Every structure is written in C-alpha cells, then in structure tokens.
C-alpha cells in the first residue's frame, strides 16, 4: 500500500521496519519458521541421541569385540565370531520358542481385544471413557507387583487350582510353565492391543457399514468386507506393539516361567551377566533387531497395500 518512504515501526513483529514483500524476505521468513520447528524438536532429538542412539552404538561396537578368557571385553581384534554363533542350533531353538510364544501372545491379544475395542468404540461417550480408564487402570500399579500377583493366582495353592479342586478336579499347576508365561504376557500386553484397535474403530465412518448393509450385506459380511479391512491399521499397530516386546520379554518369563524354558530376553541377559559374554549378548540383540525390523517392514507393507 504505502509509498517507499512510509516506514512505520511494527509493535508486534520482530522486524523493526515493515516493508513490502520481496522474494528474499519471504524466503528468510520461511527459513526462520523451519528453524523454529527444529528447535521445538530439539529436546526429543537430544534425548534420543544420548539415551538411545549412543547405547545402541556401544552395543553395536561390542558385538564385534573379543571376549577374554576371564570374561572381560577387549575392544581389540575386531571379529565376527559372535555373529557366527547366532547360527548355533541352541540359539535357533530359543528363538523359535520365543517367536511362537510372541505369536501366540499377539493372536490371543487380538482375539480378546478386537471385540472389546469394538464394544468400547460403539458405546456412548460416557461409558466409553469409563471403559478406557479401566483398560489403562493396571498401568497405575507396578508391573512387577502385578506379575507377582499372577504368581499367587497361578500357583498350586492359588485360587485357580483351589477352584478346580473344589469342583472335584485335580490341582492345577500352571506356574513355571509356558502357559503361565503366555497368560502373563497376554495380560501385560492387552492394553497395547486394545488402545490402537479402539483408536482405529473409533474413527471408523459407521455410515460405511450402513452402506454395506443397505447394499444387501448381512451384518457379518459387512464386518468382513468393511469394518475389518478399515480397522487393519489398528490391527497392525496393535500387533507390532504386542509382538515386539513379547519377543524380547524378560520379566514375565523370569517370574512365571520355568527354568527349562529359556526365552530370548532371558538368554541375552544371561550372556551379559552370568556368562559374561558381552560380544555374544550384543550380537544376539542386534540379530533379533534385524529380524524384527525386517518382519515389521514386511508386515507394514502388506498391510498398507490392502488398506
């Protein structure tokens, strides 16, 4: 608007002189904006670098190091011995066992959570919030304490066994079995499945289901053709959130599992502590990471294509 000489002081802007727009000024403003964006993300970046990337780097370096006869790690004579040991049949067996357990945990979580998430997502806002709080309620107490509670529940003197005996059956001994570990894992990870499923179902456009019903689909067909495929992002997110920690679970198997059934998490910990083989422990960690990353990418790809 103004003529060239009409410069006014801007009270609210950082630039003291308000000028007409020029490409250079517009570009500078855009740059400043993106700098502000970086600044906002800085704490998160710093945290990730210090507490995630650096330890990961150390583990990576250790995986190529040498273990001395006394169990000390020498950062010399870099080699691939630890990675070679990953192909040991024992490692395969432990991995297979962990994989099956994690898969079973994921599938059971999904089967239990889907109807429940569907139920929550289709309630009124009031009941919905109550139910969501109930899902998250267990997080308010310590995970270790809750796992110990399962130890009592599953023990041969526990209520489950007593109920069985009261009904004239045998005492049930679940504790220190794979079943106990599975029960514990499903229990622990259930909220991680329910919440993403709920989020996916909650933003479902239910008129799509009505459209399917209107186009002669039965309730079940409408679910199969519309609800299920459209909630798949939630299924994928929930499955990954359950499967990955279940594969590396340590606390639950350590408390509820038997000594004979070593799992991956257990095995890695024992390499760092009891066996004092840090390079092998590190290589195990990396091996599992690569497998999981590959699996996740494939899973996402197949899911993304169909959604």
Partner 1 sequence: MSAAVELEGVSKAFGDVHAVSDMNLAITDGEFFSLLGPSGCGKTTTLRMIAGFEFPTEGSLRIQGVEMGLQPPNMRPVNTVFQSYALFPHMNVAENVAFGLHMKKVGATETASRVKRALDMVQLSHRADASSKQLSGGQQQRVALARALVNEPEVLLLDEPLGALDLKLRQAMQVELKVLQERVGITFIYVTHDQEEALTMSDRIGVMNEGRLLQVGEPQQIYEHPASRFVADFIGEINLLPATVVDHHSVRLLGGQVIKAAAGAGAGEQVTVAVRPERLELYGLDEHVPEGLNRVEGSVSRRIYYGDVFYYEVDTPGGAFEVKEENRPGVELHAAGDPVVVAWDPAATTVVAT
Residues that bind partner 1 (CB under 8 A): 205, 207-208, 210-219, 221, 225-226, 229-230, 306-307
Q: Which helix (H) or strand (E) holds 43?
A: helix 23-48
Q: Considering the complex, what minimum distance in angstroms separates the CB of residue 104 from partner 1?
A: 29
Least CB distance to partner 1 at residue 125 (A): 15
Pair of tokens at residue 209: 């289901």
Instruction: Show the DSSP H helices in 137-272 as ranges.
Output: 143-154, 159-166, 178-202, 206-214, 219-222, 228-230, 232-247, 251-256, 264-272
Specify the residue, 10 or 219, whose C-beta has the smaller distance to partner 1. 219
- Nearer CB in complex with partner 1: 140/220: 220
We find the least distance from the C-beta atom of residue 221 to partner 1, in angstroms, to be 7
Contacts of 189 (CB under 8 A, 6+ apart): 105, 109, 241, 242, 245, 246
Q: Are 158 and 170 in contact (CB under 8 A)?
A: no
For the bound state, the minimum distance from the C-beta of residue 223 to partner 1, rounded and expressed in Å, comes to: 13
CB of 97 or CB of 213, closer to partner 1: 213
CB of 123 or CB of 146, closer to partner 1: 123
Supply 120's token pair: 């929550």
Minimum Å distance from CB 200 to partner 1? Answer: 13
Q: Write out the DSSP string of 94-139.
A: HHHHHHHHHHHHHHHHHHHHHHHHHHHHTS-HHHHHHHHHHHHGGG
Q: Which two tokens stand for residue 227?
A: 């609800």
| Residue (117 or 212) nearer to partner 1, CB | 212
Nearer to partner 1, 41 or 215 (CB): 215
Nearer to partner 1, 149 or 304 (CB): 304
In the complex, minimum distance from the CB of residue 300 to partner 1, in angstroms, rounded to a whole number: 16
**Smallest gap from residue 239 Cβ to partner 1 (A):** 19
Please name the residues in contact with 143: beta carbons below 8 A apart, sequence gap of 6 or more. Answer: 188, 251
d(CA 13, CA 5): 19
Angle separating helix axes 232-247 and 278-306, nearest 10 degrees: 170
The answer to whether 175 and 155 have CB atoms below 8 angstroms apart is yes
């Amino acid at each position: 608007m103004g003529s060239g000489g009409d410069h006014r002081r801007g009270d609210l802007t950082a630039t003291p002189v308000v000028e007409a727009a020029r490409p250079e000024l517009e570009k500078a403003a855009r740059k400043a904006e993106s700098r502000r964006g970086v600044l906002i993300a800085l704490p998160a970046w710093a945290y990730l670098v210090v507490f995630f990337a650096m330890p990961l780097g150390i583990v990576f370096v250790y995986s190529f190091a040498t273990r001395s006869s006394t169990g000390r790690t020498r950062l010399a004579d870099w080699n691939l011995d630890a990675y070679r040991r990953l192909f040991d049949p024992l490692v395969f067996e432990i991995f297979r066992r962990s994989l099956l357990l994690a898969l079973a945990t994921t599938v059971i979580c999904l089967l239990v959570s889907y109807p429940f998430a569907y139920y929550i997502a289709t309630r009124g806002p009031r009941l919905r919030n109550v139910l969501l709080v109930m899902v998250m309620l267990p997080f308010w107490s310590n995970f270790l304490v809750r796992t110990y509670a399962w130890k009592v529940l599953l023990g041969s003197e526990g209520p489950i066994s007593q109920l069985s005996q009261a009904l004239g059956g045998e005492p049930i001994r679940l504790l220190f079995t794979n079943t106990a570990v599975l029960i514990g894992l499903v229990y622990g990870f259930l909220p991680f499945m329910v919440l993403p499923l709920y989020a996916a179902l909650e933003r479902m456009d239910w008129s799509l289901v009505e459209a399917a019903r209107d186009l002669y689909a039965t309730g079940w067909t409408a679910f199969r053709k519309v609800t299920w495929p459209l909630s798949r992002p939630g299924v994928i997110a929930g499955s990954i959130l359950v499967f990955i920690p279940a594969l590396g679970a340590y606390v639950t198997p350590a408390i509820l599992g038997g000594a004979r059934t070593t799992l991956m998490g257990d095995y890695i910990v024992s390499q760092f502590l009891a066996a004092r083989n840090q390079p092998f422990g590190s290589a195990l960690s990396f091996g599992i990471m690569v497998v999981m990353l590959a699996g996740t990418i494939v899973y996402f790809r197949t899911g993304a294509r169909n959604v």
